[in-house]
Amino acid sequence: MIDHSAHAASGPQTNWAGNITFGAKQLHTPASIAELQDIVAAGTAFRALGTGHSFNTVADTEGALISVAGLPRSIEIDREARTATVSAGLRFGELTGVLHRAGFALHNLGSLPHISVAGACATGTHGSGVGNRSLAGAVRAMEFVTADGGITSLARGEAGFDGAVVSLGALGVVTRLTLDLVPAFEIQQWVYEGLPQEQLLGRFDEVMSEAYSVSLFTGWHGGPLDQVWLKHRVAGEGPRTAPQEWHGATLAQGPRHPVPGVAAEHCTQQQGVQGPWHARLPHFRLEFTPSNGEELQSEYFVARHDAVAAYEALDEIRQRFSHLLQIGEIRTVAGDDLWLSPAQGRDSVAFHFTWVPDTVAVTPALGAIEEALAPFGARPHWGKVFTTPPGALRELYGRYADFERLTARFDPTGTFRNDFLAHHFPRSA
């Protein structure tokens, strides 16, 4: 573990994928909230660093990075309120087992349990399910250290809260989050292969509503979809049995990895074996590293009612990007009221792309995808690679200017600003 005092970087500090080398010359890992406050109050330029799973420069800075991984671990469950107040540096995989043993669950999880709670919420990260909001949708209250070293708390319903949850780290260093809980539940997971395109496009809502969480995996090769991952919630009648055929797709005869041909040992258990929510909702197990980071990722959100038309638009240009893909994924996300959430104000479908690690080659493909999805008001995931210009983004978010004013209110000196924020949220606007 890095000592809590500031350090000159011993070598280039990079994100998980290795495509971003941070410009920071120091990395702070404070061991207490008081120490964090002192560090922030004494400096002029900081960015909070989670687990480094963003693929762009959202966490970069020429000042100093602050990791909250060294802050005291805490999980406080309020059974009556059905909430858990947790330290922001916790990874989801470190939290979920504790919640489950207490009889509770989060409403959903992302594909990786390795990501930090604060980082995932700050960038609008999500799982899947027509009724499931992004992970940030569970936040009921939050606490963060502002530029003067003070501590600010905001709760759902208070002014500015909806702008502060998905904040891209622009307001300060988040230290604690209070999350809504639901009763613990069990999941059975099955994988189907070879879903015909005509079945998906003709019955899109039916397909995506088949289970509590549904993920479609495709290489965008023009034929049937490679895989459909169905995560069924075990109801009162108990475990179910999966049919061999479903909408023209065939039940997989063994465990599968999302990327065809890759061994499935790192994936959560499939083939209908019942297990707790936190051991099935992610695609990958906490005890394994799902890959070595040799990839880039992009994702675009469109309104759910535009999903079929958006799919067809992408299918028409697949030859411009499919050769650069490791795999694509399609998921649904329920709408919310968070100002910068990519699902803000509309139930959404998210088109995800896992690329080969070649920024030069991938960048033109992003332009082609963004052009094809522009008629549908596609919003990019804030933590992944995209080229959508600030002017276009401003038109896609009704509270964009409100968020700029919120950052000026909480960080008037620009302590937490970086090139990414200055580019997308210029203070002169």
Are 140 and 179 a contacting pair, CB within 8 Å? yes
- Identity of the amino acid at 134: S
Residue 215 within any structural domain of the chain = yes
Q: Which two tokens stand for residue 362?
A: 């991938």
Which residue segment(s) compose the domain that 142 sits in? 75-184
Residue 408 within any structural domain of the chain = no
Beta partners for residue 406, in sequence order: none
Tell whether 123 and 23 lie within a shared domain.
no
Of 43, 67, 91, the last residue of a domain is 67
Burial class (CB in 10 A: 0-12, 13-18, 19+), 77: middle
Tell whether 350 and 217 lie within a shared domain.
yes
Q: Which runs of E-coded beta strand occur in 263-316? A: 275-276, 296-303
Tell whether 85 and 53 lie within a shared domain.
no
Are 142 and 87 a contacting pair, CB within 8 Å? no
Count Cα neighbours of 134 within 13 Å in the Cβ-side half-sphere.
31
pLDDT means per 10 residues, the chain with 429 residues, are 38 83 94 98 95 94 95 97 97 97 98 95 97 98 98 98 98 98 98 98 98 98 97 93 98 95 94 98 87 84 98 98 98 98 98 97 98 98 97 96 96 97 83
Quick: pLDDT tens for 110-144: 999 999 999 999 999 999 999 999 999 999 999 99
Q: What is the pLDDT of residue 288?
A: 81
Report the CATH number that the domain containing residue 82 is assigned in CATH.
Answer: 3.30.465.10
Residue 140 within any structural domain of the chain = yes
Tell whether 60 and 79 lie within a shared domain.
no
Q: pTM (2 decimals)?
A: 0.96
Report the CATH number that the domain containing residue 23 is assigned in CATH.
Answer: 3.30.43.10
Tell whether 18 and 85 lie within a shared domain.
no
How far apart, in whole angstroms, are the C-alpha atoms of residue 427 and residue 414?
9
Of 132, 149, 184, the last residue of a domain is 184
How do beta strands 46-49 and 64-67 pair?
parallel
Q: What is the pLDDT of residue 429?
A: 43
How far apart, in whole angstroms, are the C-alpha atoms of residue 75 and residue 89?
11
Q: What is the pLDDT of residue 236?
A: 87
Tell whether 237 and 335 lie within a shared domain.
yes
Q: Measuring CA to CA, which residue among 187, 189, 283, 185 is closest to residue 242? A: 189
Residue 401 within any structural domain of the chain = no
Q: Which two tokens stand for residue 91?
A: 């990874």
Cβ-based neighbours of 292, under 8 Å, separated by 6 or more: none
Residue 207 within any structural domain of the chain = yes
Tell whether 79 and 62 lie within a shared domain.
no
Tell whether 376 and 274 lie within a shared domain.
yes
CA-CA-CA-CA dihedral for 217, 221, 223, 224, to nearest 10:
-10
Tell whether 232 and 142 lie within a shared domain.
no
Report the CATH number that the domain containing residue 289 is assigned in CATH.
Answer: 3.30.70.2520
Residue 412 within any structural domain of the chain = no
Of 184, 205, 222, the last residue of a domain is 184
Tell whether 213 and 353 lie within a shared domain.
yes
Residue 190 within any structural domain of the chain = yes
Tell whether 321 and 285 lie within a shared domain.
yes
Q: How many domains does the chain have?
A: 3
How far apart, in whole angstroms, are the C-alpha atoms of residue 429 and residue 414?
15
How do beta strands 83-87 and 173-180 pair?
antiparallel
Tell whether 219 and 140 lie within a shared domain.
no
- Identity of the amino acid at 365: A
Q: Which two tokens stand for residue 388?
A: 């959508």
How far apart, in whole angstroms, are the C-alpha atoms of residue 28 and residue 25?
10
Count Cα neighbours of 300 within 13 Å in the Cβ-side half-sphere.
26
How far apart, in whole angstroms, are the C-alpha atoms of residue 398 and residue 248?
41
Are 258 and 189 a contacting pair, CB within 8 Å? no
Residue 28 within any structural domain of the chain = yes
